[in-house]
């Protein structure tokens, strides 16, 4: 038997193509010429060798005596739990890659070991000198072939194993497997989110059962249905379980992927007082949908939110939830307590005040348990509710602030206070424009004041209150010699004397009477066809011009005399004297005579108009059969009548004070104007 084995091994080492002989209870001895990359299916229902020997090494069984040379993939008819691969005839520079279930298995010195020669059918090749793998020295042993064991126990079901080699000579390898008792446990698990609980579980038949779980992040358990609470991403990975049930051992594993969760963290402003704004900020490592819920129907769908003008009913828990696209949800909450805030809405002072007065600051509607802090100009500070500042100076003017504190809730408010300097009395001076007028003209009076603010005015004319409260006004009721004054009352603070009286303003109202004119005729006896010369004799001649009329028709002469030889008996000859002197009222006088009749021999100087000034009665003497008109200064007729008695009496008790003009129209057509004052 040993000779046969050695011959067969020698043949494999020198053959250009390696042949693999696969033996099991189902298939008889057959020779297969395998090509590199072929797939060999191995029946795992209980295998033996071609020589009728079943080799066992610990938990392993050997399904075939000799495995193919270089890379072949073995697929098991049902999953196995562990693999032992034996490599023969390794040389320096050889590279070995092993894939378990299609995933490359990491090989290291810790899972490789050299083996020595025995005559056992399961360990029939003796190693030589040095065992190498990927440049690592495994060990130095006796002569023969180099050999290595690779034990693989992944803790999960193995469906296939693939070995690939690159080397300078042919290498033999064989493998063993351990399949347990042939029954697969039923695994129960879920896919939790971060922060949830992971639920695991298996079911097998048996009367005496024990469980041994291992997994990522140091997990272990002996429960059938273990639960790992508050899982993290580090808890993702493979979870393995070995189950001892009666005389059998079962193996199973499951891959757990913990889904990331947008676990929120909440931050908020620290003090929550009545009327303040609540600021809420939620943060997360992942993008998620947000949902805020809180007291008094509060809700929002953004990560950063706020609630304005907090009220007591807004106290309570504010919770935020996240929802990720993977279906994971998480939440966090914060308790907000709305505290009462101090009330400082009604602050005031006795401002404005004057220098030397006491400035009083006050707060109405005070609350208990409230502390106050005042600050202001000129380094002012106080903890009183209603502080005062005596002997005030102008530097005390400015902004005063009060800060109230109630259980950590503060409110601040400002007010302005003014300390005015002490002022001197007001001043006033009045003037007229123009400063002199003619009878009947208007005049404007203006008061110039200082140091009076927005004052009150009281105007007087000849001591009589005019009832005018204005800085200026215009009037036409002015007589010569009238006196105007004004009193001003200041509205400024801090004046010991707040009134002032103006200067006395006397009025000059000018009036120039028209000239008195009479006409003389030469010769005095009228003879038709003869030349007659008429001469006007005015009471004064300065500033006069003349116009002659015959029967109302103007003549060419502009001198004070006029001659004509074409007059007829009864013709009317008139002389109009025009005055160009300012304030002459009226500015012209007309005197007439009738040819053959002559002129009145009444002298206007004999006419008396008295008393002047008038009191209650005006008398006109030395004239009868005349008409009379009385004008005021604006030309309005206030009296008209016919003089029938001598003297004529006119009642004036109802006339207002002022200047008047009395016009007399004489029987011969002459006119006399006199000025009177009441």
pLDDT digits (tens, 9 = 90+) for 355-414: 999 999 998 877 788 999 999 999 999 999 999 999 999 999 999 999 999 988 988 999
Please determine, for residue 208, whether its predicted confidence score (pLDDT) is greater than 70: yes
- Other Cβ atoms less than 10 A from the Cβ of 164: the count is 16
Question: If 0-12 CB within 10 Å is exposed, 13-18 middle and 19+ buried, where does residue 526 land?
Answer: middle
> Does the 517-599 domain belong in CATH 3.40.50.300?
no
Please determine, for residue 43, whether its predicted confidence score (pLDDT) is greater than 50: no
Question: If 0-12 CB within 10 Å is exposed, 13-18 middle and 19+ buried, where does residue 618 land?
Answer: buried
Please determine, for residue 336, whether its predicted confidence score (pLDDT) is greater than 70: yes
Beta bridge partners of 381: 375
* Cα–Cα distance, 419 to 48 (Å, whole number): 117
Q: Which CATH number fits domain 347-420: 3.40.1280.10, 2.60.120.10, 2.60.40.10, 3.40.50.300?
A: 2.60.40.10
Q: pLDDT higher for 564 or 28?
A: 564
605-677, CATH topology level: Immunoglobulin-like (2.60.40)
**The predicted structure's pLDDT at residue 193:** 92
- Other Cβ atoms less than 10 A from the Cβ of 248: the count is 14
Helical spans, DSSP H, in 302-458: none
What SS3 class is residue 245?
A: strand
Longest distance between any two alpha carbons in the chain, whole Å: 207
CATH number for the domain whose boundaries are 186-256 = 2.60.40.10
For the chain, what are the domain ranges? 2-178, 186-256, 265-336, 347-420, 427-510, 517-599, 605-677
**The predicted structure's pLDDT at residue 258:** 93
* Cα–Cα distance, 348 to 333 (Å, whole number): 43
Of 158-162, 179-183, 522-526, 532-536, where does the model show the most confidence?
Answer: 532-536
Please determine, for residue 168, whether its predicted confidence score (pLDDT) is greater than 60: no
**The predicted structure's pLDDT at residue 244:** 81
Q: How much is the CA Rg of the chain, to the nearest whole Å?
A: 69
> Does the 427-510 domain belong in CATH 3.40.50.10490?
no
Contact predicate 23/64, CB 8 Å: yes
For residues 303-328, average pLDDT? 94
Of 114-118, 490-494, 583-587, where does the model show the most confidence?
Answer: 490-494
Question: If 0-12 CB within 10 Å is exposed, 13-18 middle and 19+ buried, where does residue 360 land?
Answer: middle
Best CA proximity match to 232, nearest among 189, 283, 197: 197
What SS3 class is residue 8?
A: helix
**The predicted structure's pLDDT at residue 50:** 24
- Other Cβ atoms less than 10 A from the Cβ of 15: the count is 11
pTM above 0.75, yes or no: no
265-336: CATH class: mainly beta
Identify each DSSP E strand in 246-350 by its residue range. 248-256, 265-268, 278-283, 289-294, 298-300, 304-307, 316-323, 329-336, 347-349
**The predicted structure's pLDDT at residue 497:** 93
Best CA proximity match to 34, nearest among 219, 218, 163: 163
Tell me whether domains 186-256 and 605-677 share a fold: yes
pLDDT grade for 40, boundaries at 50, 70 and 90: low
The proportion of the chain whose per-residue pLDDT surpasses 90, expressed as a percent, equals 38
**The predicted structure's pLDDT at residue 368:** 84
Q: What is the mean pLDDT of the chain?
A: 77
Contact predicate 442/476, CB 8 Å: yes
Beta bridge partners of 473: 445
């Amino acid at each position: 038997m040993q000779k046969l084995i050695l011959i067969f091994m020698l043949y494999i080492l020198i053959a250009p193509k390696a042949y693999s002989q696969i033996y099991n209870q189902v298939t008889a001895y057959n020779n297969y010429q395998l090509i590199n990359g072929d797939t060999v299916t191995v029946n795992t229902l209980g295998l033996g060798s071609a020589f009728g020997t079943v080799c066992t090494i610990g938990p392993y069984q050997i399904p075939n005596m000799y495995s193919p040379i270089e890379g072949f993939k073995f697929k098991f008819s049902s999953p196995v739990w562990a693999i032992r691969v034996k490599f023969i005839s390794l040389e320096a520079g050889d590279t070995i890659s092993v894939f378990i279930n299609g995933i490359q298995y990491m090989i290291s010195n810790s899972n490789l070991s050299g083996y020595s020669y025995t005559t056992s059918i399961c360990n029939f090749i003796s190693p030589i000198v040095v065992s190498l793998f990927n440049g690592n020295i495994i060990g130095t042993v006796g002569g023969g072939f180099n050999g290595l064991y690779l034990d693989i126990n992944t803790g999960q079901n193995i469906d296939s194993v693939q070995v690939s080699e690159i080397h300078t000579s042919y290498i033999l390898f064989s493998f063993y497997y351990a399949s347990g008792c042939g029954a697969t446990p039923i695994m129960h698990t879920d896919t939790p989110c971060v922060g949830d609980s992971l639920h695991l579980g298996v079911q097998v038949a048996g009367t005496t059962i024990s469980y041994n779980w291992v997994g990522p992040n140091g997990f272990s358990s002996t429960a059938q249905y273990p639960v790992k609470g508050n899982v993290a991403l580090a808890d993702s990975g493979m979870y393995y379980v070995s189950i001892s049930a009666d005389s059998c051992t079962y193996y199973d594993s499951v891959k757990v992927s913990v889904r990331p969760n947008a676990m929120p963290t909440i931050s908020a402003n620290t003090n929550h007082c009545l009327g303040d704004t609540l600021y809420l900020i939620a943060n997360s490592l992942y993008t998620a949908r947000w949902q805020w819920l809180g007291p008094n129907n509060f809700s929002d769908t953004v990560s950063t939110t706020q609630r304005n003008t907090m009220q007591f009913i807004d106290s309570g828990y504010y919770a935020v939830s996240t929802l990720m696209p993977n279906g994971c949800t998480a939440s966090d909450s914060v308790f907000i307590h709305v505290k009462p805030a101090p009330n400082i809405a009604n602050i005031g002072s006795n401002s404005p005040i004057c220098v030397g007065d006491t400035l009083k600051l006050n707060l109405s509607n005070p609350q208990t348990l409230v502390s106050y802090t005042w600050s202001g100009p000129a380094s002012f500070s106080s903890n009183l509710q209603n502080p005062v500042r005596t002997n005030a100076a102008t530097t005390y003017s400015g902004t005063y602030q009060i800060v109230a504190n109630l259980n950590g809730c503060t409110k601040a408010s400002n007010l302005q206070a003014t300390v005015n300097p002490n002022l001197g009395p007001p001043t006033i001076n009045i003037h007229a424009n123009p400063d002199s007028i003619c009878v009947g003209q208007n005049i404007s009076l203006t008061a110039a004041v200082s140091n009076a603010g927005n004052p009150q005015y009281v105007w007087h004319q000849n001591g009589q209150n005019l009832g005018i409260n204005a800085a200026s006004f215009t009037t036409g009721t002015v007589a010569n010699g009238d006196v105007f004054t004004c009193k001003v009352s200041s509205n400024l603070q801090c004046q010991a004397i707040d009134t002032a009286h103006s200067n006395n303003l006397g009025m000059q109202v000018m009036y120039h009477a028209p000239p008195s004119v009479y006409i003389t005729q030469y010769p005095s006896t009228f003879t038709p066809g003869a030349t007659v010369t008429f001469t006007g004799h005015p009471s004064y001649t300065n500033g006069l011009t003349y116009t002659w009329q015959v029967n109302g028709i103007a003549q060419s002469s502009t001198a004070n005399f006029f001659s004509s030889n074409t007059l007829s008996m009864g013709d009317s000859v008139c002389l109009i004297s025009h005055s160009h002197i300012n304030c002459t009222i009226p500015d012209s006088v007309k005197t007439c005579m009738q040819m053959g009749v002559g002129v009145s021999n009444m002298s206007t100087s004999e006419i008396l108009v008295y008393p002047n000034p008038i009191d209650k009665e005006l008398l006109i003497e030395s004239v009868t059969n005349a008409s009379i008109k009385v004008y005021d200064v604006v030309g309005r007729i206030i009296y008209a009548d016919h003089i029938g008695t001598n003297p004529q009496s006119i009642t004036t008790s109802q006339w207002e004070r002022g200047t008047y003009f009395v016009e007399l129209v004489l029987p011969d057509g002459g006119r006399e104007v006199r000025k009177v004052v009441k």
